[in-house]
Structure 1
Amino acid sequence: MTQPPHGNLPPRGPVQPPPVPGQPPAAPWPPGQHHQYPVAPRRSPGAIIGICLGAVAVLVLGLVAIVALNKNDTPVASTGYQNTPSPSAPSELPPAGASSPQSATVTAPPPSSSAPSSVGPQKILKLGDHPILTDKNAGLQNRVCNLPPWQSTQSGAEAFFTAASKCLDAAWGPFLEAYHLPFVPPALHFPTGASFETECGTIQVGIATAAYYCENNLYVPFRGLQTDQYGNNPGVYLALFAHEYGHHVQEVAGLMDAAWQKIYEAGQNSPAGLEMSRRKELQAQCFSGMFLGAHVDQGGTVTRDMYNKAWNDQETRGDNTSRSSDHGTNAHYAAWWRAGAVNDRIADCNTFAAPPSEVS
């Protein structure tokens, strides 16, 4: 599903739910009616005795035929089948589009006479009750992340973010795959011009586009990083990059599609639409904090100084700074990042279940 940009550009248009591949499910029984199997009529005792005697006669004739066949010495060609039981087929998730934000029940397809084909992992279009958000003990593993020293040049930034993307892949990939979600790393791009083309449209490079995510693609235009302001401050750049990668986590999981469906239903600039946008953005903030919290002081190059500077920088970002209403106040922008960083528990990032007062 094509996603609108995560900047200030308008969306591409309303999202239509994708069709369910394969045949539609059978129509349910009408309300108030129950499917009943036909019941055989009762028979008289004499009829039952006659049926039993007939069954005995058929059994005797069958035994005679089997004995006659066993006397035949002609070899039978092998069919290739073995007597060992075949392993049971793995559970299969519903095809894409079969679920809605309100209902994403995992079901298995009806049995087929042909060989079973495995249906790969699928997104789960849920929000507050999404499986990755309901496990209170789930979080990212503590890992070592080694990044090259920051250099405020095009080539230096490319080397830094390329290494960071590998650390993010290694952190989020196994986590999402554990929930049978279709993880693939995002494609990384480093635009150099004043604008660049994406599936979400033409993006103008500026202070609002230090990093940009659209449809499994992550763009980092060096000219938008404001290196003249932040200088040699890799913790700030890493947190910003991890925020945009957080949108990829939402995309892979199905959270992104479910959120945009709600935004389109309400209207992007309506109070409900703007609130859903803030919930989406604040969750990406929390995911960014989780990543830095899981990798600081683990023996790699994500140092305590980088972590502390990223922590303090979050207060400078948000709707108070941008004069918008779609990302959350600066206080909430910092609070959700810190919630992810302190405990590294993804349930603490469930912005979709938070009260409105925490996502204003």
Structure 2
Amino acid sequence: MSGNQWGPPPGQYPQQPPQGQYLPPGQGQYLPPGRPWPQQPQYGAPQYGAPPGQQFGWGSGGPRPPKKKGGGAKFALTVVGVIVAGVVGLVGVSTFLKHNGSSDGPYTSQPEPTYTTSYSPSYSPTGYTPSAQPSTQPSATQRPTTTKPVPKPTAPRTTRPTKKPVVVTDLDIVARNRLYKSGAMRSVNCKESSARLATAAGATTNYRNLWNCLNRSWPSLVTKAGAKFRPPSVRTFTGNINTPCGTWYDSGPPFYCGSTETIYMNLTEDVGGYNQYPNQSSKVLARMWMLHQFAHEYGHHVQNLTGILDAAHDIRYDAPSTAKELEITRRIELQASCFSDIFISANRKSYPISGQSAVQWRWLIGNVTDKQNDHGDAVNHKYWALRGYNSRNPASCNTYVASPKKVQ
């Protein structure tokens, strides 16, 4: 059924939702994890990725033109070159974005007024009198003399060298984005919603609260990156939902559609996970899961605003092999998780992430599966989540210069 804007969908949740349908390559972008609901080790680990035979995609939607030749190979060689150089994080960040211009406006200097004096008075003991000019008239017997003006020296003409146009590549946008120089995120004192998450209305209230917090957390960093901030739209759904990025079912994960800048949250998964087990630790895990899921999808929105998402899509599209395509997808997804934990850490005292919440959050980020090999394994997911959490700085989330081993 169609999703609702900030509200519970009509009707009841389906007892047996249909098989998940995922977007074809070149459309929508979305988060790990998929179904089943993440459980603690005694009842299974959370599932990241799409069901067998399906493929994740992202971007602005619509059909793609034929692949360009050689683009993917160039990216692979460039990334390897960066890795060999031992770059971790961001070094020598470019100030250019493909889709976002500088925030500085044009500057035009104003001419300064000039003053000339044609009359110079003099002062005398008897009063104020104009200065007399000496006579320059020749006498009757004196021949006037003329002097030849001395020619002024002329300086040799010089020509300024023409500047070569600056070419900003997709690799520049993903690996040297100005977002990596925006600094650490400050706390906005986000507090957890007091709504009971056992119902669609409670879960929706929780999403709205997180949406407000994230809308106050990311704008300054996005603006420093030279991009214009826009908050995403959010919709909830159960059953199936038709979007500009394709048709989705609640047997799959939540997702982000770049063409409409909309986050779609799966109520069947989130509410069902909260109600599935009666013990308190499972309910805390469900709350941490919803927090991480929503902040992760918002991370894709940040990628979209700063041009990273579209540029990474182009690199993936030109990849020379399926293995390289999956590697780029993992770099995108692991970065979104890193962005998620920047926000979680920045507000860890007010939310808070302590006690049982901290225990469940740490278990969550280190216990994931990746059957489709497109979101990153448990070890690497925990690595990037902790980088974001410990630094609270996007510079720590530059997955595009990391070794392939760090994005497996």
TM-score, L = length of structure 1: 0.64
* 2:222 equivalent to 1:176: yes
Measure, in 2, the Cα distance between the counterparts of 1:257 and 1:307: 34
Count how many residue pairs are aligned between Structure 1 and Structure 2: 256
The structure in which a higher percent of residues are helix is 1
- Judging changes above 3 Å, is the alpha-carbon distance between structure 1 residues 126 and 318 closer, same or farther for their aligned structure 2 residues? farther
Post-superposition Cα deviations, 1:89-123, rounded to whole Å, max 9, x if no partner, equal xxxx99xxx938xxx88699999xxxxxxxxxxxx
Q: Give the equivalent residue in structure 1 for 2:379.
A: 331
The correspondence of residues 172-251 of structure 1 with structure 2, limited to 5 A, is 172-192=218-238, 194-206=239-251, 208-209=252-253, 211-215=254-258, 216-225=261-270, 226-227=273-274, 228=276, 230-233=282-285, 234-251=287-304
Task: Answer with 1 or 2: which has the greater Rg.
Answer: 2
1:310 Cα deviation after fit: 1.5
**Is residue 311–residue 338 contact of structure 1 (8 Å, CA) maintained in 2?**
no
Structure 2 counterpart of 1:161, from 196, 203, 207: 207
Task: Report if aligned partners of 2:179, 2:224 keep a CA contact under 8 Å in 1.
Answer: no
Q: Which residue of 2 aligns with 1:315?
A: 366
CA distance in 2, matches of 1:196, 1:167: 26
Pick from 169, 173, 198 the counterpart of residue 126 of structure 1: 173
- How far the C-alpha of 1:324 sits from its partner, in A, is 1.2
Q: 1:105 to 1:162 in 2, by over 3 A?
A: closer
Q: Is the 8 A contact 1:15 1:264 kept in 2?
A: no
Give 2:312's match in structure 1, choosing from 259, 262, 281.
259
For 1:171, give the aligned amino acid.
S
Alpha carbons 1:289, 1:340 under 8 Å: kept:
yes
Structure 1 vs Structure 2 CA RMSD: 3.1
Q: What SS is found at the alignment partner of 1:99?
A: coil
String of CA shifts for 1:108-145, please: whole Å, max 9, x gaps. 9999xxxxxxxxxxxx9701111112x2x711112200
Residues 278, 359 of structure 1: 8 Å contact kept: yes
Report the Cα distance in structure 1 between the residues aligned to 2:228 and 2:27, rounded to whole angstroms: 17
The amino acid of 2:336's aligned partner reads A
Tell me the CA shift for residue 16 of structure 1. 8.9
**8 A Cα contact 2:28 2:255, kept in partner:** no
CA distance in 2, matches of 1:288, 1:108: 29
CA distance in 2, matches of 1:190, 1:161: 9
How far apart in 1 are the matches of 2:184 and 2:63?
A: 35
Highest RCO, 1 vs 2 (Cα 8 Å, sep ≥ 6): 2
Secondary structure of the equivalent of 2:376?
Answer: coil
User: How many angstroms does 1:301 deviate by?
Assistant: 3.2
1:89 matched to which residue of 2? Answer: none
TM-score of the aligned structures, taking structure 2 as reference length: 0.57
Which range is displaced more, 138-147 or 6-15?
A: 6-15
Give distance in 2, aligned partners of 1:332 and 1:205: 27
Aligned to 1:32: none
Correspondence for 1:99? 98
For 1:140, the equivalent position in structure 2 comes to 185
Matches within 5 A, 1:46-125: 99=98
More deviation in 183-192 or 303-312?
A: 303-312
| Aligned counterparts of 2:103 and 2:249: Cα–Cα separation in 1 | 44
- Offset of residue 151 of structure 1: 2.0
The verdict on how the C-alpha distance between 1:237 and 1:109 changes in structure 2, with shifts beyond 3 A counting, is closer
* 1:329 CA displacement: 0.8
CA contact (8 A) 1:328 1:359 kept: yes
Q: What stretches of structure 1 of length at least 5 have no aligned partner? A: 18-92, 112-123
Structure 2: where are the runs of 5+ without partners? 1-25, 31-48, 68-94, 108-169
Give yes or no for contact 1:213–1:219 (8 Å, CA) kept in 2: yes
2:63 corresponds to which residue? 13
Distance 1:159 1:15 in 2: 41
Tell me if structure 2 keeps the 8 A contact 1:152–1:231.
no
Instruction: For residue 218 of structure 2, give the secondary structure of its aligned residue in structure 1.
Output: helix
Distance 1:337-1:107 versus aligned 2 partners, 3 A rule: closer
Q: Which moved more, 1:145-154 or 1:246-255?
A: 145-154
- 1:221–1:338 Cα change, 3 Å: same
Would you say the 8 A contact 2:178–2:226 is kept in 1? no
8 Å CA contact 1:318, 1:333 repeated in 2: no
* CA distance 1:163–1:105, change in 2 (3 Å): closer
- Please report how far the alpha carbon of residue 293 of structure 1 lies from its aligned counterpart in structure 2 after TM superposition: 0.6
Mark the CA change 1:317 to 1:10 in structure 2 (over 3 Å): closer, same or farther: closer
Percent same amino acid among aligned pairs?
Answer: 25
Correspondence 1:4 to 2:25: no
